[in-house]
Structure 1
Amino acid sequence: MKICFIGDSNSIHTKRWYKFFRKEGYSIDIISWNKDPEIPQKNMHNIPFNFILRIKYLRAIFILIWSIRRIHKINPNLIHIHMISNYGWACLFIKNIPIIVSIGGYDILIRAKVSRIHFFLSKLLLKKADGVTTSSKFIKSELIEKFYIKEEKIKYFSWGIDFKLFSSIPAEERKNNKIKYNIPEDYIVLFHNRYFPAAKYKILFDSIKNLNDIYSEFVLILVKGVSVDKDWLKAKRYVENLGIGDKVIFIDKFVSQGKMSQLLSFSDIYINILTHDQRGLSILEAMAAGCIPAVNNLPVYHEFIKNEINGIIFDSEEPEPISKKIYWIIKNLSELKSKFRKYNYVYIRENDDKGKNEYIMKELYMEVLG
């Protein structure tokens, strides 16, 4: 069985599905705009960018033609698009091969709203697809109401996280992990690992500046994630200009799942302020590790976080009220962590364990292939 993925090979989600279906005995090829050392080159099909094609529309046509030809060369039994992009639109011209589209969030919540072309082509692709997956009830409703996709075509389920990896780190190891980063034992650790343009980083850093004025025994760990270098450098300069350089630890390199579990093991509060999201697997990982999730008021977060029951939902996106809420969490940290951890441990084990949920995608493959 040969499957063709279309998506970012650097994405932890793409790599995870690649590894799972390889383990299940499938042959997987990936069409991507990136290369990744974890994926054998024989399975990678990278678009040979011609930098002479600097005109946006010429570049889009080039990508479209190249992708169509490459799909025909791979000749897969099934195509799985991971987030809708120019590359996925090539499937509009592919016949007699089943197609599954997994929604990323940004593709339909942001790009489709600012670009009529993206909306129109995405709508055509979603209607052509044999199956559509999302991990958010909110996004499912958007697909039905805005793109007119039939409900029976949409598969809603959480992709899940490695529950055992993130929930089972012993207390002594947590302590040692904190020492590795030279963080004082009594310091509160704030954490954010979704840094990319969708992150409202100025709000986050302004909030940290305000917090530092009333409480100083903390540090924020920030992981680069999929941020491009220029945005990452902007963030560093902004922090320095605010005078809080000693309060933010920037982690520049890609962080593996094992390393992420170590970082989360000694973190206290996971802060997430984004413009959009799906189910938020990074948040679920933090919750499994025992962190307090503190997130902005996106509809999707209400699907798995109940304010002051198993997490905190900010009621404002202004730095001052956010900093005051973080300070309130810190003052009540022990009580909140104990309460939230018990709830989240059971909830995530039952709803978001990837060991069970990965097979839902396999069942969809079988269903689409008939």
Structure 2
Amino acid sequence: MKLLLIGSASVHTFRYLAGIAPHVDEIHLVTSGELPPRYHAANLGRVLQVDFSLKALATAGKIAGLIAALQPDIVHVHQANSVAWHARRALAGRKLPWLLTCWGSDVLLLPRQNRFMKHLVAANLGAASAVTSDSLHMAAVCRELAPIARMDVLNFGMDALPPTPDIAAKPLQVLSCRLHKPLYRIDSIVRAWAEVEADVRFAGWSLTVAASGEETENLQILAATLGLGRVNFTGFVAPEVLAGLYRDARVFVSVPKSDATSISLLEAMGHGCLPLLSNLPANLEWVLDGVNGAIVEDVARLGRALKTQLLRAADDAQLAEAATLNRRLVAEKGLHQPNMARFAQIYRELV
């Protein structure tokens, strides 16, 4: 099978390419930036760099030319935003099946911006031969936006389930590793941590704030202004370093305003962290409040929720019980290679 993959220059696109490559005979890529060498597959053919912005009206013609030259069996487009708009125009009039994978903000946030964006996303969804979503909630939103020919709920998954964590060896650490953007509300986590540091019961606990972004400097200033002494900003770290941060953390905190199923949540669950999450539908598909993690109803009260979970996570028996359940959930529906095989099966059925 010959696959044409179309997606923005994101680690998610590149990671998908490397994962799906063993399941197809040839894979070709249309993207908006350089493909890092680590993601090059042995059966990778053409790589076309294009501009996916709405102003780049020539992009559809470039993609159409590549399709005509390659004659792929199937096209897989990532994100129902301008990427899919260019791909949809390039595919117009062709009897060529194409799969559209939604990532989250493209259907949960973009259609709310204005009527034009809502129409664009809806048209992309309605034109695809099939659509995939990584959560039941996002799938329902897609169906509200447009009639969907076929919908599959499937995520990219974490690379592999790590060894069973040694719960007793975990230090008293909390981990935040989402991007430093307004969407992820890292500032709320820092402010909540101030309440933790002010409570003598948690004198041995520390917070690691990994990742980076446009708000990094402001977050560091905020921590200094609050006089925090047990917060470590690591910046962006390599995957193997991040794995170590998960391994050492007892609590994982992530409170974005909007989200689908995040790989970081799956990784935290796989490494035996107790998740503390914002009250979003996709999170509720993985975590039952008070059972295998916690859901905070109001981020303004995150400090109280965080302290409650620290008390729970400090108990090795309680943390081990939650970790066992979380690892089983990830093993059943959150691993990369089994899910890549499922994507490949969708390809075969569409072809």
**TM-score, with normalisation over the residues of structure 1?**
0.82
* Preserved contact between residue 208 and residue 323 of structure 1 (Cα < 8 Å): yes
* 2:312 alignment partner, one of 332, 341, 362: 332
Structure 1 pair 163–206 and aligned structure 2 pair: CA distance change class (3 A): same
Q: What's the offset of the Cα at 1:97?
A: 2.5
CA separation of 1:238 and 1:29: change in aligned 2, threshold 3 A:
farther
1:249 aligned residue (204, 229, 232): 232
Q: Determine the structure 2 residue equivalent to 1:208.
A: 193
Question: Residues 136-164 of structure 1: CA distance to partner in whole angstroms, max 9, x if unpaired?
Answer: 111111111232325xx101134332343
State the partner residue of 1:127: 126
Match of 2:82 in 1: 86
Cα shift readout 1:179-234 (whole Å, capped 9, x = no counterpart): xxxxxx5xx2111222142201221221112222224432222222xx54x33333
Q: CA deviation at 1:64?
A: 4.6
**Structure 1 range deviating more: 306-315 or 333-342:** 333-342
C-alpha displacement at 1:269, in angstroms?
Answer: 0.4
Q: Which residue of 2 aligns with 1:159?
A: 156
Alignment of 1:1-370 (within 5 A): 1-11=1-11, 13-37=12-36, 38-40=38-40, 43-47=46-50, 59-93=55-89, 94=91, 95-150=94-149, 153-164=150-161, 166-168=162-164, 188-197=172-181, 198-214=183-199, 215-224=202-211, 228=213, 230-244=214-228, 246-256=229-239, 258-318=240-300, 321-333=301-313, 334=315, 335-369=317-351
One-letter amino acid of the counterpart of residue 91, structure 1: A
Amino acid at match of 1:31: V
What are the ranges of 5 or more consecutive residues in structure 1 without an aligned counterpart?
50-55, 176-184
Query: SS at the partner of 2:224?
Result: helix
Q: CA deviation at 1:279?
A: 1.9
Answer with 67-76 or 360-369: which moved more: 67-76
What RMSD, in angstroms, separates the aligned Cα atoms of the two structures? Answer: 2.6
Q: Distance in 2 between matches of 1:156 and 1:348?
A: 15
The Cα offsets for residues 293-346 of structure 1, whole Å up to 9 and x where unpaired, read as 00010011111111111111112110xx21112112222321431221122232
Q: CA deviation at 1:254?
A: 4.5
How many residue pairs align between the two structures?
A: 339
Q: CA deviation at 1:42?
A: 6.4
Aligned to 1:29, the other structure's residue is in SS state strand
Aligned residue identity for 2:47: M
Cα distance in structure 2, aligned partners of 1:100 and 1:283: 25
Letter of the aligned partner of 1:126 in structure 2?
L
1:100 and 1:130 in contact (8 A); partners too: yes
2:174 aligned counterpart, secondary structure: strand
Query: Which residue identity is paired with 1:80?
Result: H
Does the aligned pair in 1 maintain the 2:158–2:263 contact within 8 Å?
yes
TM-score (norm 2): 0.86
Q: Measure the CA separation in 1 of the matches of 2:257 and 2:25.
A: 36
SS of the residue aligned with 2:206? strand
Name the structure 2 match of 1:178. none
C-alpha contact 1:279 1:301 (8 A) present in aligned 2: yes
Residues 217 and 34 (structure 1), Cα distance of their counterparts in 2 relative to 1, 3 Å cut = farther
User: Structure 2: where are the runs of 5+ without partners?
Assistant: none
